[in-house]
Each structure stands twice: as structure tokens, then as C-alpha cells.
Chains A and B, each alone.
Chain A
Amino acid sequence: MARTLIEKLWDAHTVADLGDDATLLYMDRVFLHERTGSVSLKGLEAAGRAVRNPEQVFCTMDHIVDTLPGRGDDTIMPFGKNFITTTREAADAAGITLFDIGDDRQGIVHVVSAEQGITLPGLTQVCPDSHTCTLGALGALAWGIGSTEGEHALATKTLAVNKPKSMRVTFDGALGFGVTAKDMILTLIGKYTASGGVGHAIEFTGPAIRALPQENRFTVCNMAVEFAAFTGVIPPDDTTLDYVEGRPYAPTGATWDRAVQYWRTLKADDDAAYDKDIAIDCTRIVPAVTWGTSPGHGSRIDGVVPDPSSAPNANTRSAWERALEYMDLTPGTPLEGLPIDAAFIGSCTNSRLSDLRDVAKVVEGRRVAEGVKAIVVPGSSQVKKAAESEGLDKVLIEAGFEWRESGCSMCFFAGGEHFGEQERVISSTNRNFENRQGPKTRTHLASPTSVAASAIAGSIADVRKLGQ
């Protein structure tokens, strides 16, 4: 019978059929961070259980650690140091590999997992972090779990999982100038809402996906969870293999050749059937920006703030009304030109070297508008180093951006650093929830180049107008 890619990955990891669509799946990798992984490790310890295969478990410091230069264990976030030291002790006791503060492999979990070759095509991987779906871009079955499931994966090397339904999202056509992977995914979620993928595992496919460089593919899969999907996956191809080859934990020699042979089979059969099929015409996608407090509140950059009275139903109308109040926006206002207080470039969505190169191209020879706080946080210590060796840091700093150490930083407010009350921020991150980036802070999600163009303009801007 013809199988989807997800079904192939599922079958390859089935330890036992538990009946009623539930499967005991083998977990190739577990990744942890100091925010939620620490709780998993402590919970396991309290239950008197051990990590079954510590050599396949990794941990990094990204969520709590400061991103200001000269950082250490002390954090601006109150009580933060405890997360860091507890994680370090627990990781050491469990015998797992930790990319600690100061280690040149440290960075945002989903950035470093790919960068180090820890995630490979065809693997299963979980992490107590919702954006683990990012790694589906390598053709891995990767998804976010809670800390208790984290304990399960650590102790048993498996998870009992209910099989999700299948969805194929085909991105047809080609992207126009100034349009990015971020605009693709924001457009999808904007069209089908933030619950559009609920209960489904998605295969992203089509010519526009195949044309994306590997780093941009991570951006698409990263936001599968904002679409309420179980995860998102992209079939591995030459682009994927070129990315993986030579990475520290990737196989070499004859083992590499064998792996490649297997990875070549990781695609849906031609006549595979999906529970749901969606197609998006990429020639019609323009830079996207959100206006509200859900990733589904997306608009074209040349659009206006919607009128709740035109909402498709009563729930949506009340959600829009509440969002407009929170965002302090009036229906009919053009999004382009809305004055901003801050611009943030970073996060597991958009902080990789190619993002920073694109941003540097936009801001080179220009200046961040007066009064706008503009920050760039590289996704990993490796990204930071590579960017500095190309001189990108100088371009960004000269333009007026702060240049930080790597980590999750101000993607979310955890009691430490944050954007100001009622400040309007344009951000390359993935969540525009109420209070996400600071108390009463108003977040507009966009691509990194849109964020850069807006920082220069001092207001939400259409990056295409800066020219080729």
C-alpha cells in the first residue's frame, strides 16, 4: 500500500503496536534545555529512574541564559541561575552531553541540533519544547512534548503516541522578490487559522519548498506548531544531504553512504493518500505581517487592520475585537507605516546565518530610525562566530543594531529582559501572544528582512520598496 513520508517514518520506529491507533515509537534522540528539560531530569531522578541511553541525549542552555555580552550563570531573570546550575548538575549526573554557557556549540536547541548533525533525516526526536517541529525540515519526525513525556522518552527510549491524521501542504510556484519562507508559513496560518492543522502531521512539499535553501526550510517547519499541527516534515533531498554532510555528529565514510541510500527512500509514494490536502500559490504571496495576538492574525504587508464586523463568525469577531484592543489598532488602518518602538531579529524561527546575511544586505549603509531599539540575537554560538568572520556584526552594529550572544533572548518574557509596556515591536519570532515579549508589549511577526526594513524606516515597512 502506498505510504506517506510520515507513515514510513512511523513504521520504521514502531517498537510495538499498542492497538487503537496507538504505537510505541522508538525515539532516536532526546534534546533538553534548561527551562523544561531540567524538570524532566529532576523528575526522573526523584522517581529513581535512569536515562536509558545517555549517549543519544543532548542538552543546551538557551531559554534562561542572558544574551548580553559577558554573561555567566547569573541572569537578569529572577531565579534564573537556579535553572542553569540545576540543569548542569542534573546533566552531569545523567551522563548526557551538555552544550553549556561558553561552549562554542551552545545555542538555541533547534538551531544547534541541526547544526551539530545531531538531527539527521529519518530520525525521531523529541524535546520538551513546542518548536521541536523545526527539525522536520531535515526529514526527521520531530515534535514537542511535555516534561513528563520527556521523562518517558529518557527512561524508556520510546513514547506511546496516538497516530495523527495526515495533511499535505503543497507550495506551488515560485516566491517573488523580497518574499521569504517566513511569509509562506505566515500566509498559510493566516489563511487557515491557528487551529487549521489540529490533529494532523504535515508534509510540506511542492516546487517552492524544494527551491528553499535548507536554513529557510527550518523556518517553515518551525511554525507548524503555530498551525496546531502535531509536526511538519519536508522530504529530504540533495539540499538536505548537502547541509548534513560533514557536520560533527553526522555519519562518515561507508556509514554515510549507507545512510544516504536509506534517506533517498524517505519520500511519499506517488499515490499516497492524505486526510487533508492544501495547495498554496506562492506567486501570490507577498511579505506578511501579523496585526493581532495569534499567529493566525496574518495579513499582507500592503493590507489593513481587519474589521471585526467582517469576521466569519462570532468567535472570530470577539477574538479580533480583543486583539485590536490589546494591539491598540483601529480597523482599516494600513499596517505599512505603523510606527514601531523596537525590532527584534532572533529565535529558532529566524536566527541562522542566512537570515543574518539577508538582514545585513538590507541594512548595509543604512541607519536604524531614531528611537527604535533594534536587536539581533544569533541562533547559536557557531552562527555568531560565522557571522563575525564575514563581518556581518560590523554591518549590523554600524546600522545601529545591538549584537548579542546566542539564546532565545527576548522571544519571550520570563521576568528578566523585555520590551516595554505597550511598546510596538516587529519581530522575526513565532509568537505574538498577549504579554509574550513583555508586559502589554505588542508584537508583530514578520520575516527578518521585513523586520530589518522596518527598523530602518521606524515603522512597519515593505522590504520590497528598498529595491533589489
Chain B
Amino acid sequence: MTLQMQKFTTLTSVAAPIMRVNIDTDAIIPSREMKGVTKEGLSVGMFANWRYTNVDARVEDPDFILNQASYRDVEILLSGENFGCGSSREHAVWALKEWGIRCVIAPSFGTIFYGNCVRNGILPVVLQEDTVKAFAKAMEDSNGTAALQIDLPDQNVMGPDGGQYTFDIAPADKEMLVEGLDPIGLTLKRDAEILAFQVRDKTARPWVYL
């Protein structure tokens, strides 16, 4: 069986700058907002400690960028280095996705978060800090009307001023996003290789096999 995931090819959107460094997954989705054994219903808890002045009553803080009219429907986030560090909770990615975020641009990412993005149709883009800051400034200067254009097949981001910025992505990650591939389905096609490894390995490392 092969499941189809959401494909990512190109995207044009305003980007919301949340330019702190080390934004951890506890901040993206606080533990207390993970209320069920599910991947759904998480966007209401996204950034809960920053987004609400009263978390329990869900009173929005008008100062938080995603609560502002021009940034409410953005599909891109801009952030500082090490975005998504901390807990492995994939709920952070599920919350962003449910909210409508399709791409995060930052100078670096937490490794587990990065992998979780790719497996959920969200594109993590690593760009130089100066570039991300310039995008953030363009957004602020235009009151959230300037757009970024992302082209994953070309590995390119076009800034509001027409500047082109290429980014690196591992070929396998790119393919997974562009094709909307289900990695489990792909790997299961290699069942014979896995089995052959296991047969060899049982002789070489018998202590591994409980």
C-alpha cells in the first residue's frame, strides 16, 4: 500500500517573521495542548503561550504576529537559527500544517523537527541569516503585503525585490516533498533487501535478536 502525501512544488505567500533564535517545539505546541492520541486539532494550541494573553480562555494577544490581519493567512514563517529545537514532538509540525503553514525559512533547524517537516509536506528552507532578516524587514516595511516565491524543483526563493536565493536540500527529502511520496511505502518495496540483511545479520550478531 502506498499513501499519498501532500506535494510541494511552488508557493507564493506573505511570510510572518518570528525572528527569535532557538524557538523550541515546546513553544510551537506546548505539552498541555497535546490533548489526545491524534495528529489533529492541534492548531488551536499552536504558539499558545505567545498567541494568547489567557491560554485557557483563548484570549488572543493582538501583538502576536499571527493574530494580525495581514499575517493570519500566511503560509510561510521566517525565524532565527535552530528553529524547532528541543522535543521530538511531531505535534509541532502537525499544528503548523493544520494552521496552513507550508514552509519555514530559517538559518538552521532542530534536526528532528526538520525531518518531521519533510514527512508532512512542509518545506524547511535553510538560508543565510542576513537573507532571512532582509525578508523579515521587507515584510515589516510592506505591512505584510510583500510576498516570497518559493520554487522547490529549482531550489530557489525569490524575495520581494526580485532577488534570487538558492537553497540546499537533500535529494531524498526534495523528492519526498515534490512527489508527495510515502516513505514507508517506498521502503517496503525493498523488503527483500531488508530480509537479506536480517538473515546475514542473525549469524553475525546473534545477540541482537531477542
Binding site for B on A (CB under 8 A): 15-16, 18-22, 24, 26, 28, 35-36, 38-39, 42-43, 47-49, 55-56, 77-79, 82-83, 86-87, 120, 122-123, 128-130, 144-149, 151-152, 155-158, 160, 162, 164, 194-195, 198-199, 225-226, 228-230, 249-251, 255-256, 258-259, 262, 294, 296, 315-316, 318-319, 322, 412-415, 431, 433-436, 439
The answer to whether B206 has its CB under 8 Å from any CB of chain A is yes
Alpha-carbon distance A319/B82, docked complex (angstroms): 13
Task: Tell me whether A198 and B120 are in contact in the complex, defined as CB-CB below 8 angstroms, given that A36-B88, A228-B82 are known contacts.
Answer: no
Chain A proximity of B109: nearest CB distance (Å): 8
Alpha-carbon distance A120/B210, docked complex (angstroms): 12
Inter-subunit contact B184/A152 (CB<8 Å): yes
For A39, give its contact among B35, B39, B110, B206 (CB under 8 Å): B39
A-B contact pairs, 25 of them (CB 8 A): A15-B194, A19-B172, A21-B170, A22-B170, A22-B172, A38-B37, A39-B38, A49-B184, A56-B208, A56-B210, A78-B35, A87-B37, A148-B90, A155-B188, A156-B194, A225-B112, A226-B85, A226-B86, A251-B207, A255-B207, A413-B31, A413-B32, A414-B31, A415-B35, A434-B49
Alpha-carbon distance A431/B22, docked complex (angstroms): 12
Chain A proximity of B39: nearest CB distance (Å): 7
Chain B proximity of A151: nearest CB distance (Å): 6
Please name all residues of chain A whose beta carbon is closer than 8 Å to the beta carbon of B193 when the two chains form the complex. 15-16, 24
Inter-subunit contact B115/A146 (CB<8 Å): yes
For B184, give its contact among A21, A147, A151, A194 (CB under 8 Å): A151
Closest to B35 in A: A79
Inter-subunit contact A262/B197 (CB<8 Å): no
Please name all residues of chain B whose beta carbon is closer than 8 Å to the beta carbon of A26 when the two chains form the complex. 194, 197-198, 201
Write the B180-200 contact mask toward A (1 if CB under 8 angstroms, else 0): 000110111010011001100
Inter-subunit contact A198/B111 (CB<8 Å): yes
Interface centre among B3, B27, B87, B206 (most CB of A within 10 A): B87
Inter-subunit contact A24/B190 (CB<8 Å): yes
With A146-B112, A255-B207 already in contact, 13 other A-B pairs whose C-beta atoms are closer than 8 Å: A15-B190, A22-B171, A22-B172, A26-B198, A39-B38, A49-B1, A149-B116, A155-B188, A160-B186, A249-B210, A251-B207, A259-B207, A319-B22
The answer to whether B30 has its CB under 8 Å from any CB of chain A is yes
Task: Tell me whether A230 and B205 are in contact in the complex, defined as CB-CB below 8 angstroms, given that A83-B37, A158-B194, A413-B31 are known contacts.
Answer: no
Closest to B1 in A: A48
Please name all residues of chain A whose beta carbon is closer than 8 Å to the beta carbon of B81 when the two chains form the complex. 195, 315
Alpha-carbon distance A431/B25, docked complex (angstroms): 12
For B37, give its contact among A42, A158, A251 (CB under 8 Å): A42
For B88, give its contact among A15, A18, A146, A436 (CB under 8 Å): A146
Which 8 interchain pairs have the tightest Cβ spacing?
A415-B32, A251-B207, A146-B90, A146-B116, A195-B82, A414-B31, A130-B88, A20-B171
Inter-subunit contact B32/A434 (CB<8 Å): no
Closest to B26 in A: A433
Inter-subunit contact A431/B206 (CB<8 Å): no
The answer to whether B24 has its CB under 8 Å from any CB of chain A is yes
Alpha-carbon distance A231/B88, docked complex (angstroms): 13
For B188, give its contact among A144, A146, A156 (CB under 8 Å): A156
Alpha-carbon distance A174/B22, docked complex (angstroms): 32
Please name all residues of chain A whose beta carbon is closer than 8 Å to the beta carbon of B35 when the two chains form the complex. 78-79, 415
The answer to whether B80 has its CB under 8 Å from any CB of chain A is yes
For A156, give its contact among B39, B87, B187, B206 (CB under 8 Å): B187
Please name all residues of chain A whose beta carbon is closer than 8 Å to the beta carbon of B129 when the two chains form the complex. 315
Number of B residues, CB within 8 Å of A: 60
The answer to whether B93 has its CB under 8 Å from any CB of chain A is yes
Inter-subunit contact B26/A436 (CB<8 Å): yes
Alpha-carbon distance A42/B197, docked complex (angstroms): 28
Task: Tell me whether A144 and B112 are in contact in the complex, defined as CB-CB below 8 angstroms, given that A228-B85, A413-B31, A434-B27 are known contacts.
Answer: yes
Please name all residues of chain B whose beta carbon is closer than 8 Å to the beta carbon of A87 when the two chains form the complex. 37
Alpha-carbon distance A35/B91, docked complex (angstroms): 11
Alpha-carbon distance A256/B21, docked complex (angstroms): 47
Chain A proximity of B34: nearest CB distance (Å): 7
Task: Tell me whether A294 and B22 are in contact in the complex, defined as CB-CB below 8 angstroms, given that A144-B88, A412-B31 are known contacts.
Answer: yes
Please name all residues of chain A whose beta carbon is closer than 8 Å to the beta carbon of B137 when the two chains form the complex. none
Please name all residues of chain B whose beta carbon is closer than 8 Å to the beta carbon of A412 when the two chains form the complex. 26, 31, 87
Interface centre among A79, A82, A148, A296 (most CB of B within 10 A): A148
The answer to whether B119 has its CB under 8 Å from any CB of chain A is yes
Please name all residues of chain A whose beta carbon is closer than 8 Å to the beta carbon of B86 when the two chains form the complex. 130, 225-226, 431, 433
The answer to whether B173 has its CB under 8 Å from any CB of chain A is yes
Please name all residues of chain B whose beta carbon is closer than 8 Å to the beta carbon of A155 when the two chains form the complex. 184, 187-188
Inter-subunit contact A148/B120 (CB<8 Å): yes
Please name all residues of chain A whose beta carbon is closer than 8 Å to the beta carbon of B190 when the two chains form the complex. 15-16, 24, 158
Task: Tell me whether A433 and B24 are in contact in the complex, defined as CB-CB below 8 angstroms, given that A56-B210, A158-B194 are known contacts.
Answer: yes
Inter-subunit contact A160/B116 (CB<8 Å): no
Inter-subunit contact A195/B85 (CB<8 Å): yes
The answer to whether B89 has its CB under 8 Å from any CB of chain A is yes
The answer to whether B162 has its CB under 8 Å from any CB of chain A is no
Inter-subunit contact A148/B26 (CB<8 Å): no
Please name all residues of chain B whose beta carbon is closer than 8 Å to the beta carbon of A38 when the two chains form the complex. 37
Please name all residues of chain A whose beta carbon is closer than 8 Å to the beta carbon of B21 when the two chains form the complex. 195, 315-316, 319
Closest to A126 in B: B88
Please name all residues of chain B whose beta carbon is closer than 8 Å to the beta carbon of A436 when the two chains form the complex. 26
Please name all residues of chain A whose beta carbon is closer than 8 Å to the beta carbon of B170 when the two chains form the complex. 20-22, 162
Chain B proximity of A381: nearest CB distance (Å): 21
The answer to whether B72 has its CB under 8 Å from any CB of chain A is no
Closest to A199 in B: B111
Alpha-carbon distance A414/B48, docked complex (angstroms): 13
Chain A proximity of B206: nearest CB distance (Å): 6
Chain B proximity of A453: nearest CB distance (Å): 28
